[in-house]
Structure 1
Amino acid sequence: MTDPGERLRSSLAADQSASSGMADFDSPIAMEALRATRVLHAADQEPFPPPARIRIITIANQKGGVGKTTSTVNLGVALALYGLRTLVIDLDPQGNASTALGVDHTVGTPSIYDALVGDSTLTEVVHQTTASPHLLCVPATIDLAGAEIELVSVVAREHRLRRAIEGYIAALPPERRPHYVLIDCPPSLGLLTLNALVAGDEVLIPIQCEYYALEGLGQLLNNIDLVRQHLNPGIAVRTILLTMYDGRTKLADQVADEVRNHFGDVVLNAVIPRNVRVSEAPGYGQSVLTYDPGSRGSTSYVEAARELAHRGVNLPPIDSTSTPGAATRFAVADAAAPQNRQ
């Protein structure tokens, strides 16, 4: 089976060859194709820089259908293909992230449920993906649907995922520790999402470029503030990603402008457009980057991942005096030496 990274590089070479004669065409389509080729080619030539410390990013939004899972999968694949060790944790009982990464999540498969409710470690439930050797996934099975009820009586129930991640990282040798841990949350503000917010050091919020996407955002931000006050003082919204952008509508521009005006530099410059390839890819157990590397959806997620990676280069250390477990995480991150793509 062809390696996804090789497929991507082959596609880049083909796209570059095909677009070499487009420089003389002053049309939006030609210029867009040329820009997409250059973006992908630059990423292929220059691996993304490793972060200053391990980044544990919770991808959350209680509204469904805004691109949480899609963004988790494609950002994870982009980071991994361009040299950064990445772990995706599927915390949604639907298991869509597991499907998109080609990881089995049928009943009985070792999954995140066993680490949250049972006695398993993340090491025992982590699976290798087909997208990249640098990308691992902890799948979710339907058993996770009952985890919220089962966790109610568990001591320190909000910290189960945090402790599992810290134990996993501490047990790994420096050269195998992940640069990024991406946590895909369910479309709710229940105990699973709370575990993800307590486990993470930062939050990435995907926002659909439609009016309804802004409703309920205040509730999510209030919940994050409550978590910061009582459970995880280090959590912060560091990234907002605009998704499902339709340039044919004024509404998409209005929503994008409103989000940028309100949140400022937290919003990534990269915007994810509506693209049928993004929707088709999970049906083949793939991300859009491996399914159709030259598509607009693939280009946009590579841009977003690159921007995310560059923002992580100069991150300040976590304040270990105010955040439980932060000292352990920072020491682990210091030991993780930058590694180029193999």
Structure 2
Amino acid sequence: MIADPQEAPSSQEAQASGSPRPLRIIALANQKGGVGKTTTAINLGTALAAIGEHVLIVDLDPQGNASTGLGIDRRQRRLSTYDVLAGEASLAEAVQATAVPRLSLVPSTMDLLGLEMAMASAADRAQRLRRALDPLDRGEVPEEQRFTYVLIDCPPSLNLLTLNALAAAHAVLVPLQCEFFALEGLSQLLRTVEQVKGALNPRLAIQGVVLTMFDPRNNLSAQVVADVREFMGDKVYETMIPRNVRVSEAPSHGKPVLLYDLKCAGSQAYLRLASEVIQREGRLPAAA
């Protein structure tokens, strides 16, 4: 286990083959709010960076909670995802460093709320993010922006912003709270993924489902876990994110939980999840 996220070796140092690691673009999506989607984007991104990956988080939620949770306040957001999607800036220009080594961010602002209306007549309105990410996907970027993972934090709705994320992504990761209506929301999202796959993005796949806010003392949590595993099979990650007070506290300090309290149960769960994500993709770990 890594002693400190800021001390992990880089992907380049640990890549045994010497060849570049391929980019993986993952949209974190769930139309239900409060399921741990943004929390997972922040902390999975941090955990991947901690074990040596080079990560970019794209904040597509107008609330900007991923940006705030990474310590980027509104005054620091010179360029945002709005500027990128509106064609006023390139993605490379909008990338900002964070306090986490190897973790960068394209922040969000409330301007995104007006994007759907602004792009209503644009023929490519669902493909703007994919076009912005294409240079990264092709490796046509400076060395410092050759990311191995892009995590897109979607808004909690199936709108144009989420459609852009699904059109751009290689795969969808679904954070799912251990609650009664979990499967109902999941079924709707899976239908949307199939529609996007057929119309806009044939490569789109389900990366997996990560169960969040799991409480082993709660019988309902255990039943939801059993139901989701029966419905989704091996698409459900073994790692579950526990309900944990330190995970809840960290955003108010503008820190991922791994920087707020590395030893807490939430931090350790996100480190395990990051390792499982890499392992399931058949990648060699970036860091030994």
| Same fold? TM cut 0.5 | yes
Structure 1 residue 83: Cα displacement: 0.7
Unaligned runs of 5+ residues in structure 1 are: 11-40, 42-46, 316-337
Assess, with a 3 A threshold, how the Cα gap between structure 1 residues 82 and 67 changes in structure 2: closer, same or farther: same
Which residue type is aligned with residue 286 of structure 1? K
1:75 pairs with 2:44: yes
- Residue 273 of structure 1 and its aligned partner are, at CA, apart by 0.5
Q: Choose which of 69, 81, 89 in structure 1 pairs with 2:58.
A: 89
Q: 1:252 to 1:107 in 2, by over 3 A?
A: same
1:299 equivalent to 2:268? Answer yes
Choose the corresponding residue for 1:180, options 124, 149, 166: 149
What is the root-mean-square deviation in Å for CA atoms of aligned residues? 2.6
Name 2:107's counterpart in structure 1: 139
Q: Tell me the secondary structure at the aligned position of residue 122 of structure 2.
A: coil
For the residues of structure 2 that align with 1:192 and 1:306, how far apart are their CA atoms?
29
SS of the residue corresponding to residue 114 of structure 2 reads: helix
Q: Deviations over 1:102-156 (max 9, x none)?
A: 1233496210100001321011111000022x11000001111111211211221
Give distance in 2, aligned partners of 1:9 and 1:221: 36
Q: In the superposition, relative to structure 1, how do residues 173 and 96 fare at CA in structure 2: closer, same or farther (>3 Å)? A: same
Among 158, 176, 195, the alignment partner of 1:207 is 176
Does residue 125 of the first structure (1) align with residue 125 of the second (2)? no
CA distance, structure 2, for counterparts of residue 339 and residue 275 of structure 1: 28
Q: How many residues in Structure 1 have an aligned counterpart in Structure 2?
A: 280
Give the direction of change, closer, same or farther, for the CA distance of 1:258–1:122 in structure 2 (3 Å limit): same
Name the structure 2 match of 1:101: 70
Matched residue type, 1:303: R
> 1:101: how far off?
0.9
Question: Judging changes above 3 Å, is the alpha-carbon distance between structure 1 residues 294 and 198 closer, same or farther for their aligned structure 2 residues?
Answer: same
CA distance in structure 2 between the partners assigned to 1:314 and 1:111 by the alignment: 31
CA shift in 2, pair 1:340/1:129, >3 Å = same
- Take 1:119 and 1:294, find their aligned partners in 2: how far apart are those partners? 42
Q: 2:145, 2:65 → 1: CA distance?
A: 26
Identify the range of structure 1 (165-174 vs 293-302) with the bigger mean alpha-carbon deviation.
Answer: 165-174
- Give the 3 Å change call, closer, same or farther, for CA 109–52 of structure 1 in structure 2: closer
Residue of structure 2 equivalent to 1:162: 130
TM-score by length of 2: 0.90
CA deviation after TM superposition for structure 1 residue 217, in Å = 1.8
Query: Which residue of the partner structure matches residue 117 of structure 2?
Result: 149
TM-score under structure 1 length normalisation:
0.76
Match status 1:110 vs 2:101: no
- Identity level (%): 49
- Secondary structure at 1:89's aligned position in 2? strand
- Identify the residue that residue 275 of structure 1 maps to in structure 2: 244
What aligned pairs does 1:253-264 form with structure 2 within 5 A after superposition? 253-264=222-233
Larger-Rg structure? 1
Asked if structure 1 preserves the Cα contact closer than 8 Å seen for 2:6 and 2:100, the reply is no
Separation of aligned partners in 2, 1:165 and 1:282: 27
Whose helix proportion is higher, 1 or 2?
A: 1
SS at match of 2:212: strand
What's the secondary structure of 1:226's corresponding residue? helix
How far 1:175 moved relative to its partner?
6.7
Superposition pairs for residues 212-227 of structure 1, below 5 Å? 212-227=181-196
Determine if contact 2:77/2:108 at 8 Å carries over to the other structure.
Answer: no
CA distance in 2, matches of 1:108, 1:290: 22
User: Does the 8 A contact of 2:36 with 2:177 survive in 1?
Assistant: yes
SS at match of 1:302: helix
Amino acid paired to 1:142 = M
CA distance in 1, matches of 2:211, 2:40: 10
Post-superposition CA distance 1:38-96 (Å, at most 9, x none): xxx9xxxxx79999631100000000000100000000000111110000000000000
- The 1:293/1:232 distance shift into structure 2, 3 A limit, reads same
CA contact (8 A) 2:136 2:147 kept: no
The structure-2 alpha-carbon separation of the partners of 1:314 and 1:8, relative to structure 1 and needing over 3 Å to count, comes to closer
